[in-house]
Amino acid sequence: MSGSQTRSAAHELLPTDTTEDVRARGAGAARQVAVLPVGSFEQHGAYLPLTTDTLVACAIAGEIASVHPVHLLPPVTISCSHEHAACPGTVSISSVTLHAVIGDIAASLRRSGVDALVLVNGHGGNYVLGNVVQESAARGERMALFPAAEDWETARQRAGVRTSLLTDMHAGEIETSILLHTHPELVRPGYETADFIADDRRRLLTVGMSAYTDSGVIGRPSLGAAEKGKALLASLTESFGECLTVLTGAGTEGA
């Protein structure tokens, strides 16, 4: 990958708003909403980059911000990837740290007049984000976690993704499709022959990913296609409308 391609990929992770852009977007809004992509830095086989979850979260959040009146934040790029600890390159922070970071960001936003926050999660191992949202709701703060499993299932069906969400666990059809659409220059050869199925992962939290896959892949990346990635993002962007309505609706104390 050339230096210019690297810079282009990095640039797309970061919003380019000025303070006046934010001021103008929030002017007259009954409730301002910020969108925070949360990714990870973890192995995704030999053909997808360590930043895959961050790239996916940013792609979803970017599409949302292009359609809905929200403030787009830069991503959290390292999170809870402990199940991949045995794989070179993977970096994690503790769930306590991630919880604190999200809480600090939400508090900072509220001080600036943005009182609702949506966490766009790109990494399934960030279980603590659900707790963060629930605790925020209990305090009367407005926070949501997106996409929900139901949003992904709707998107999967609309996009013609053939692999179930259970089977498409890591570096599979969905993630490969989204990157083929948004960052094809980052997808290396090899995904076409990397399919690996391990549906029974009941001890994953105890033994980690390496107990189930030597390659780091669980899913069917060979079925990945750019047009599926485009359709997945379109469906998720549409589904976000309902999330936004719940989060900003009168009398809502959390979502």
Q: What's the pLDDT at 9?
A: 54
**Residue 154 contacts residue 231 (beta carbons within 8 Å):** no
Region 181-195: mean pLDDT is: 98
Q: Is 52 among the domain residues?
A: yes
How far apart CA 228 and CA 203 sit, in angstroms, is 31
Q: Is 21 among the domain residues?
A: no
Is the pLDDT at 81 greater than 60? The verdict is yes
Per-residue pLDDT tens digits for 125-152: 999 999 999 999 999 999 999 999 999 9
The pLDDT-based confidence of 5 (bands split at 50, 70, 90) is: low
How far apart CA 181 and CA 86 sit, in angstroms, is 29
Sort residue 28 into left (φ over 0), alpha (ψ -120 to 50) or beta. left
> pTM above 0.95?
no
Q: Is 25 among the domain residues?
A: no
How far apart CA 24 and CA 17 sit, in angstroms, is 11
CATH code of the domain in which 130 resides: 3.40.50.10310
Residue type, 148: A
Phi, psi dihedrals of residue 83, rounded to the nearest 5°: -70, -15
Q: What's the pLDDT at 252?
A: 44
How many residues can be counted in the chain? 255
CA atoms within 13 A on the CB side of 207: 9
237: Cα separation from own chain's centroid: 13
Q: Is 204 among the domain residues?
A: yes
28 vs 17, higher pLDDT? 17
**Residue 68 contacts residue 116 (beta carbons within 8 Å):** no
Q: Is 40 among the domain residues?
A: yes
The pLDDT-based confidence of 10 (bands split at 50, 70, 90) is: low
Number of domains, the chain: 1
Q: What's the pLDDT at 11?
A: 58
How much is the mean pLDDT over the chain?
Answer: 94
Q: Is 27 among the domain residues?
A: no
Query: Among candidates 24, 50, 51, 47, which has minimal Cα distance to 37?
Result: 51
Q: In which domain, by residue range, is 51 found?
A: 33-248
Q: Is 254 among the domain residues?
A: no
Q: For residue 147, say if its preceding peptide bond is cis, omega within 30 degrees of 0.
A: yes
Q: Is 230 among the domain residues?
A: yes
53 vs 11, higher pLDDT? 53
Is the pLDDT at 28 greater than 90? The verdict is no
